[in-house]
Amino acid sequence: MNWLIPLSATQTVLLAALGLKVVAIDMRTDDIAEAVKAQPTQVQTQADPAALSWDNARSASLSGDEMRKIIREEVAALETPARAASAPAQPVKPQHTPQQVKTAVTAVDREINYFRSRGAIDEVEMAGLQAKIAKLPLAERRAALTSLTKAMSKGEIDGWM
């Protein structure tokens, strides 16, 4: 009968260990239950794209694509002002007033008439006249070239273009 005492003690110890194990499993179950309750809130947050930002983002709740999207948006926002500031200014063709155009046309006409009265134009004079004609607006330029070529075709101005 002497072996009954150690057996009883062993059973008591085992029962106590079993009880502790049950309590530990119970606590872990509660933790998991709480985590499951919290999960729908996070999913709802992720479903709203507007809510994606550095302020509410948690690495555990964002996919790789979402993080890349946020990084792209942030980088684009940083680059936009810099790009606008660094873009070279496009040269703007000066707009001449009608009076300026009229003055230039008159000067070219006067020069053509001068060469017509003289009856000849040399190469240097032709180059200078062409440069002045080239500065005229298209319609006036065509008119001046018409006047010049007609005068040359008629023999009123002897020379070459």
Partner 1 sequence: MTLNRKFLIGGIAAAFTSTAAIAGMVQPAPVDVDLATFFAGGDMLSARYAPNKNEFIGCGVRKFDDGVGGATAFGFCQAEDADGERAFCNTDNEDLLDAIEASADYGYVTFSWDEKTGQCTRIGFSNQSFYVPPKVGSNL
Q: Euclidean distance between the first and final Cα of the chain, in Å?
A: 139
Return the residue matching tokens 């007033």: 97
**Chain residues 60-79 in contact with partner 1, contact rule CB under 8 A:** none
When asked if residue 40 is in the footprint of partner 1 (CB under 8 A), the reply is no
Return the residue matching tokens 């790009």: 83
When asked if residue 107 is in the footprint of partner 1 (CB under 8 A), the reply is no
Integer Cα distance of 46 and 71 in angstroms: 16
Nearest distance from residue 139's CB to partner 1, in Å? Answer: 11
Nearest distance from residue 74's CB to partner 1, in Å? Answer: 36
Spacing of C-alpha 111 from chain mean position:
51
Q: Which is nearer to partner 1, 56 or 100 (CB)?
A: 100
With contact defined as beta carbons under 8 Å apart, do 94 and 130 qualify?
Answer: no
Measured CA distances, 44 to 68, 73, 98 (Å): 20, 22, 66
Binding residue for partner 1, selected from 92, 97, 98, 117, defined by CB under 8 A = 92
When asked if residue 6 is in the footprint of partner 1 (CB under 8 A), the reply is no
Site residues (CB under 8 A) for partner 1? 91-94, 130-131, 133-135, 138, 141-142, 145-150, 152-153, 155, 160-161
